[in-house]
Amino acid sequence: MTDPLGDHDREAASPTGERPRVVLGVGGGIAAYKACELLRLFTESGHDVTVVPTAAALEFVGAPTWAALSGKPVATDVWHDVHQVPHVRIGQSADLVVVAPATADLMAKAAHGLADDLLTNTLLTARCPVVLAPAMHTEMWEHPATRDNVATLRSRGTRVIEPAEGRLTGKDTGKGRLPDPAEIFAFALDVLARAAVPGPAADLAGRRVVVSAGGTREYLDPVRFLGNRSSGRQGYALARAAAARGAEVTLVAANVTLPDPAGVKVVPVETTAELRAEVLAAAETADAVVMAAAPADFRPAAVSEAKIKKAGDGSAPGLDLVQNPDILHELSHDRGRPDSVVVGFAAETGDSTGSVLELARHKLERKGCDLLVVNDVSGGAVFGSAENEAVVLAADGAAVEVPRGTKAALSHVIWDQVAARLPGTR
């Protein structure tokens, strides 16, 4: 399993300082088995988890599994321990409710306020953030009834994660897969953390954002390329954070090996030309674009169709390079939407011509973006690191210093700055 918390703070803490109380609802779908892993991620990071499966969920994974993994008894109906009024108490006392998998049937009930078992009662009584992670066949997800129910739930503030695309039960593939449990966990942690921040938790709801991540490859021949060490972690953290704040996120990922963030549309690319095409297309209708990727500045002038052979005389072939287009510059000067917010990144060391911040201010002007996230890399590279520190410079003169912390924390500061400049909020 990947490290789900690589970009997150590990300690679980509720606004009251106690162990956060999480209700894990489990719907009756084949993906119920993946909720076992989600449960472990919550319990191992110090959360107090009550599992509430539906009766159908117990057909897939039995009550003993949930009880053993959570350390608590498990009930599906409202007739157990009635003197403790569980149908009200569980929802009322929760800091977060996560339902994974959420079936079409369960979402229909939740959208219409039906309460015929313990989970649907819990959903009606919860006043904390509610995250639903749907999983179903594509036809069910796309059915107008489900679309309406999802829209209703979202309009009430319920966080419905877009399902992932890929292999479904049986032979078919399409949209409807439960995202990676580690990614649902990361999403849920973000929602839980945001609940403690003043202001609306889903402040990017209704916004479309594009994030680029990773490092591009420029091929010399079918097997060789010029590349760079960008891991994509900052871009992935940005995508996760935006999704947790309710945005519709397109993540254009160049050669990244991280798991797809929950609820995010991932578009894999390899070269700078592909990255440019996908980012510009998605930017047409986007409210904000963040260029966290490291596109190669140069590419070979020609790509050999056949593998380049070694010369017998021991000589090496010359390498002719040409410059790649500057995507950030293009995005900033030819905006799909004139009121969109464009964000760039800059890794600077400072030199005889200026300090890190002076060079970054010039770069901000040269590129024409609204915000530039500046990493001072004088003391060593940040590639692959889980932490980052930065200054977020704005074209309007503002500068926000972000102390050393997780890439998730930096991501939220960046989205705070973006959100403050979006139309309707500025």
Residues lying near ligand CTP in the complex (CB under 6 A): 272, 291, 293, 295, 297, 324, 326-328, 344-347
| DSSP SS3 for 343 | strand
Q: Which of 228, 324, 375, 388 is catalytic?
A: 228
Burial class (CB in 10 A: 0-12, 13-18, 19+), 129: buried
Task: Output the CA torsion sign for 57, 58, 59, 62.
Answer: positive
Smallest gap from Cβ 354 to ligand CTP, in A, equals 11
**Residue nearer to ligand CTP on the CB measure, 47 or 367:** 367
Active-site annotation holds for 228: yes
Between CA 419 and CA 209 the distance in angstroms is: 11
Smallest gap from Cβ 97 to ligand CTP, in A, equals 38
Residue 166: name the closest of 281, 259, 280 by CA: 259
Distance of CA 259 to the CA centre of its chain: 10
| DSSP SS3 for 187 | helix
Smallest gap from Cβ 214 to ligand CTP, in A, equals 10
**Residue nearer to ligand CTP on the CB measure, 81 or 297:** 297
**Residue nearer to ligand CTP on the CB measure, 125 or 230:** 230
**Residue nearer to ligand CTP on the CB measure, 60 or 345:** 345
**Residue nearer to ligand CTP on the CB measure, 167 or 366:** 366
First to last CA, the chain: 42
Whether residue 181 is preceded by a cis peptide bond, meaning omega within 30 degrees of 0, is no
Smallest gap from Cβ 80 to ligand CTP, in A, equals 55
Between CA 288 and CA 233 the distance in angstroms is: 19
Smallest gap from Cβ 298 to ligand CTP, in A, equals 9
Burial class (CB in 10 A: 0-12, 13-18, 19+), 10: exposed
Residue 383 DSSP label? T
Task: Output the CA torsion sign for 133, 134, 138, 141.
Answer: negative
- Residues with catalytic annotation? 228
